[in-house]
Amino acid sequence: MAEKTKLWYLQNFNVLEGMSMGVMKELEKNTSMQNSAKKEIIYFPEEASNTIYFLKVGKIKIYRLSEDGKTTTLHLLGPGEIFGESAILGQDTHDNIAEVVEDAVVCAMDKRDFQDLMEKSPQLTLSVNKFIGFRLRKIQAHVEDLVFKNAKQRIKAFLHRYVETFGKKMVDGWMVRPFLTHQEIADLTATARQTVNQVLNELAEEDVIKFSRRYLHLKGSIDKLDS
């Protein structure tokens, strides 16, 4: 049953969509599963980059820590995404930190096994290349938000991407469960917790969202967060 569960999860990864059963079986054979609790660090900068990770359940944030202790979050990952891709880009060590934001189930695979599989499967190679390009564009968009937008705009832009990535379409809008804490949103948008609290309350007063620690309900279209 555990093996079937692993294969089922792997079949639901964006980057593995449409792969042959032979490729999926090879991945299943060469990956190991682990449960990771919130706040757990998957890897640190300067650690050897020799593993590809598949996020099955939960959320992972990828961020950098400056010499003065400030963090810059580059990406928030959800189920169905891979990370640690520097291992297949020729980097010997990681540049960033990968931390669990929401209790996670992660599948790990040695980069040499993954590279061997890519050599056997042109379809997998193409899919991974597309994924890396898409990831870089999302990181670039996030960095541009940090540089060119004010605090309120950054928070609303983050909420837009957050709902788009993790939300479930409902009759009356979008629902995300669970929601992040105000401090987590502040860390992800380079703002203060008080600012996050103010912006969320303003959006609630405008009847755009309803929220608690358990959920975020966006009423109507995601485009409401663009105004």
Where do the domains of the chain lie? 2-147, 150-226
Under the banding of pLDDT at 50, 70 and 90, the label for residue 3 is very low
Domains 2-147 and 150-226 share a fold: no
Under the banding of pLDDT at 50, 70 and 90, the label for residue 213 is confident
∠ Cα 95 98 101 (to 5°): 155
- At position 191, the amino acid (one-letter code) is T
- At position 15, the amino acid (one-letter code) is V
- Which range among 7-11, 50-54, 126-130, 163-167 shows the weakest confidence by mean pLDDT? 7-11
CATH architecture of the domain with range 150-226: Orthogonal Bundle (1.10)
Fold assignment, 2-147: Jelly Rolls (2.60.120)
Question: What is the model's pLDDT at position 128?
Answer: 87
